[in-house]
Each structure stands twice: as C-alpha cells, then as structure tokens.
Amino acid sequence: MGLIRKSSIEEYWNSTMASQASNWFKRTMSRNRFQNILRFLYVSDHSKNFPREHPGYDPASRFRPLLNFMNRQFGRFLVPEKEICVDETLVASKGHNIMRQYIPSKAGKFGIKFWMLCESATGYILQMTVYRGRNFDPVPSGELQGTQVVTSLLSSANLLNKCYHVFCDRTLCKNRPMPNVIKSADPAPNNAVYMRKGKVLCMAYRDADGKRPVRMLSTYLPAQELRSGKPKIVHVYNKNMGGVDTADSVMKAYSGQRKNRKTWKKVLLHLYHRILHNAYISYTKNTADTPIKSRVRFIQDVVESLSDTVTINVIPARARPHDQRRNIHVGVKLLSGRKEKDCCVCSRRSQAGGRRRSRTACSFCGKGLHRCCIQFHYNCHEY
C-alpha cells in the first residue's frame, strides 16, 4: 500500500470500476480479512499490562515487545562505521496520548518522540528508544537529558567506550555554562573563536552576515580550518549528523501511513517500516548483486516473497511421478556466520545480474536455497 497509493483502504478492493481495480489485493486476501487482521493486530498481552493507575504503568507497553526485539536484533547484523549520531524523530499523530510531544521543527509537529542511534553514513538504526514524557522518563539529578540519552543508547547498543565518534546536536546552547569568551563571542562572518581545555575544544562560528553564531564542542577534532575558511569541526558535523534525518526522509517515500484512531497502532506499523529500512541497508552492504536493487525494487521483492503469489522465472526439472507420491519434506537451514550460497533454483551466474545469493541452504542436500524456492527444488538427491 505504500507503493500503490489510494484514498482509502477500501479502494484497494474496489471492483465496481475496471479503471480502479487492483487484482493483486483481492487475490492475496479479502478486504474483511485484512481489516480484521489490522483490527486485532497486537504484539503484547494487554491483560498482563499494568493499568494506568498502577505505579508500574508503561504507556508504551502496547508496542514495547516489538521495540525491544528490534533493538536486540539490529546490532547483530551490522558493525557500524566509526561515525555514529544521535537525534530525535517523531511519529506524527494528533491522537490523544499521554506520550504525545510537540516539536515545532518537525513537519508533523505533534506525535510520539523517539531517540535514535544511527550509523551516520547510511542511517542504519542501531538502537532506538521512545520518550514517554518527563513523568515516566525523568532525568537523573545532576545530569542533562542529552547526556542521559546518549550514554543510555550507546550502552544499550554495547558501543560505549568503544572509540566511536558520536555526533549530536543542541549540546551547547547559549544558556548552558561555558567560558564567557565563547558565550559572548560575536565573530565576523566566516570567522571562528576557539578555546581548549585538555581534550575539550570549544568553538563559536558565524557562517554569514545576518546569522547567529553557532557554538560547538569536540573531544576529537582540532582547531583547524579548511581552504574554504570553514572550520573542520563544522564540516565534519554537517557530514555526519544527518543519519537520522536521512532515515526519516527515505522512510517517507513508501511508508503508506494513514490516519489511525489508536496512536500505538500507528507507532507499531511505523516500527515495521523501520525494520524494512534496516533490512534494505543490510542488503546493500552484503549483496553480490550488480547492479544493486533500488529500494522500491527491494520492497517489491519483499512483498512478493511474503505473499502467496510468488512467481519465479525458472523452468524447473520435471518431477518424477514417484516423487510426488513420497511424503518427503524439504526444508531450509540458516548458514553459519555470514556465509552465503548461490540459490540452486533461481540463481543464474551465466546471465548478467542473474546471480542470487541465499543465507539459507537445503536441509537435505546442502545446496543454497531460498525459502520461496522450496516448491521448485525437485532435484534434491534425497529424493
């Protein structure tokens, strides 16, 4: 539905006008079945959640199991590059919810706020946590919220004190304690003022006339300027701080999000799209396909593989008559580590771009085999 946009869910099953027909949806399931699945879609046992009056009440309990599962899995499939970033994102919603936040800089302005730790280069999500409000997520005394968020995300991702370069914004606002030289600095356009104490470098920089100076901190970069006159700390920040924004902009293209009376269910569907986004980044980093599939083609392949209408352009070997009479179940097993094999059904190395790698293999003969290709695997020697 994110690829094929229509005005309402019911329109996908419209059969009264030939020009509006979408036969794939009707072949996959009926409209009533889809709406019932959507209606009864849950990832937690609501009867075991604490009521709102209970001290242990968690307003995110309806999607907490999926969020915890995502965080456990995301770190297993990718070792991030050295540059990572922490930023906030908003699942836009105007529905009544105790966790709803107002962020005027975001397009949706109202919604559920998440903190995300991402790889700067790709936007791959390493860890994400929901902000439930000051009543449920108070800041420990003696800490700032930014400090608590960054350290907790890094610790949860097992990346704290691992020599990563972490980029985050709004760490040095003018109302925070800092040297007066930096606080009251009013540099000329394209000029910077530096101060250093030990490993900490503090800088105030004005980009152009009429703009306010920006203030930055770094424990890694030197007080150095590029040939353009721009400080290196500004250049590196602009290059590596956009991981979360990159993920958000890519997600909007095929999200398929619709208005929903239940805010938690909209968040739940949003999390599924986050999983799909991470899956595509993992594919681009590990595939041997040339050329690499576009994101829309990747989503299309995922849709085909999850539906009952899978078609593979392969002419399988003719099954022997006695094969069909024997009750033999061919399954697949996951290859150890990051090993991959050519799928013995759909891979064609002799054709340009025809190679198809699989992380699973036939449980009997050991040949590479996708799950969706099992029905065409007639030449298994166990037959």
Distance CA 333, CA 24 (A): 30
Distance CA 323, CA 327 (A): 8
**Which are the contacts of 59, defined by CB distance < 8 A and separation ≥ 6?**
97, 98, 99, 132, 133, 136
Distance CA 367, CA 302 (A): 22
Least confident of 241-245, 273-277, 351-355: 351-355
List, for residues 209-239, the tens digit of each pLDDT value: 888 889 999 999 999 999 888 899 999 999 9
Is 139 a residue whose pLDDT tops 60? yes
How big is the CA angle at 361 (ends 355 and 362), to the nearest 5 degrees?
Answer: 120
Is 182 a residue whose pLDDT tops 80? yes
Distance CA 317, CA 311 (A): 16
List, for residues 27-69, the tens digit of each pLDDT value: 888 999 999 999 999 999 888 889 888 888 999 999 999 999 9
3-state SS class at 136: coil
Counting Cα atoms < 13 Å in the Cβ hemisphere of 95 gives 15
Distance CA 136, CA 175 (A): 26
Per-residue buried b or exposed e for 184-221, using 16+ beta carbons within 10 Å of the residue's own CB: ebeeeeebbbbeeeeeebbbbbbeeeeeebbbbbbeeb
Write down the pLDDT at residue 336: 85
**Which are the contacts of 216, defined by CB distance < 8 A and separation ≥ 6?**
172, 202, 203, 205, 233, 234, 237
Write down the pLDDT at residue 289: 86
How big is the CA angle at 230 (ends 226 and 232), to the nearest 5 degrees?
Answer: 60
3-state SS class at 58: coil
For 88, the enclosing helix (H) or strand (E) is strand 83-92
Q: Which long-range contacts (CB under 8 A, 24 or more apart) does 152-155 make?
A: 153/86, 153/115, 153/116, 153/117, 153/126, 153/127, 153/129, 154/117
Write down the pLDDT at residue 330: 58
